[in-house]
Amino acid sequence: MESIYNKSFDELVSYFESIGQKKFKATQVFEWLYIKRVKFFDEMSNIKKDIIDRLKEDYVIEDISLEKVERDIEVNKYLFTLNDGNHIESVLMRHDYGNSICISSQVGCNMGCRFCESGRLKKVRDLDAYEIVQQILMIEDDIKERITHVVVMGIGEPFDNYDNVMRFVKIINENKGIGIGSRHITISTCGLIPGIKKFMEESGQVNLAISLHAPNDEIRNKIMPISKVYKIDDLLRVIREYIDRTNRRVTFEYILLDGVNDMDECAVELGKILKGMNCYVNLIPYNETENISFKRTKNHQIMKFYDILKKKNINVTIRKEFGGKVDAACGQLRAKKKGEL
Ligand code: SF4
């Protein structure tokens, strides 16, 4: 049976209409699920028993379960077990502007980025929307605080699970439920052009981030197999179109890997290809893992790379490092759980 957390508000309205009930039942159910956080339909005390019975026939209130939390001052890393025994993870980062979480959209990932634990373990399956929603609910329950920002950049490629991810966005964006504003939600893709084109039409105010990680196809091919399918020129052409059409700024994620993509000439080339674009570049110091041989770029080179981009008038930041004590590189907890490390 389907999880009721899979349903957007509009879908619940249609459901209640289809069973001869008033639309406002959808508001009541959303409040019970997302504000009061009940675990059983029977707890929805302002809904009549015959409707509760019908809900029980059609849906389940399905949870994922919390397997493990690693806690540090500004970051918590969560490992969840899904109902079929698979594992996913999410990371909570406490910023001065609020609580941000990085969540998973698939079990494993088929994109095969060479620097990534999740890519190493391959995709097992897509997540349903409710399994993505549940990551937020469970973390809010754990910290007893609201999540203010969501980035879909954990395990998985969101545009390889497009429909469920967009359904998830609709659910958490709904004011009668969790109510996370579109501008506080970011979808990060490794560059699936068909997904970006679709997103361009449907994203509203939701942010787009691109995992670029190289200034040209030659380097990108070595670390991101997807670039053999979607060339960097085509990718940038579509991003320019996205910016023109949506008037939204795009973020380019750039993981700095020692001796691979962090040389001065890479920064110069990156500045050149992004010139004049409404974007900003997020430089990410690499979080080393035991299984992957890439090394973190030295601090002085990170600063040099940053300075070169700055001088080329590119908006650039260096991502604060949360990693270290908790296994914060994407996919590490899950990999450990699978006994692969
Ligand atoms: S970096 Fe993202 S897209 Fe690439 S393999 Fe890892 S999870 Fe997949």
pLDDT tens, residue by residue, 166-177? 999 999 999 999
Answer left, alpha or beta for residue 268, where phi above 0 means left and psi between -120 and 50 means alpha: alpha
pLDDT beyond 50 at 341: no
Calculate how far, in angstroms, residue 120's C-alpha sits from the geometric centre of ligand 1. Answer: 9
Q: What's the mean pLDDT in 139-161?
A: 96
From 89, 131, 140, 157, active-site residue: 89
Q: What percent of the chain has pLDDT over 70?
A: 94
Atom of ligand 1 nearest to the CA of 117: 6
Q: Which of 134, 147, 142 is nearest to 64 (CA)?
A: 134
Residue 268: which pLDDT band, with cuts at 50, 70 and 90?
very high
Q: What's the mean pLDDT in 253-279?
A: 97
Dmax over CA atoms of the chain, in Å, equals: 69
Which residue type is seen at 223? I
Which of 105, 118, 165, 189 for mutating ligand 1's site (highest number of atoms within 8 Å of CB)?
118
89 is annotated as an active-site residue:
yes
Q: What is the mean pLDDT of the chain?
A: 92
Q: Choose the weakest-confidence range: 32-36, 121-125, 211-215.
A: 121-125
Calculate how far, in angstroms, residue 215's C-alpha sits from the geometric centre of ligand 1. Answer: 18
70 is annotated as an active-site residue:
no
Residues having CB within 6 Å of any atom of ligand 1 = 109, 111-113, 116, 118-119, 155-157, 190, 330
| CA–CA gap between residue 287 and residue 294 (Å, rounded) | 9
Report the predicted TM-score, pTM, of the whole model to 2 decimal places: 0.93
pLDDT of residue 119: 72
Which residue type is seen at 230? Y
Which of 102, 111, 213, 282 for mutating ligand 1's site (highest number of atoms within 8 Å of CB)?
111
Q: What's the mean pLDDT in 251-267?
A: 97
pLDDT of residue 1: 87
What are the distances in angstroms from CA 278 to CA 194, 244, 313, 319? 21, 9, 11, 19
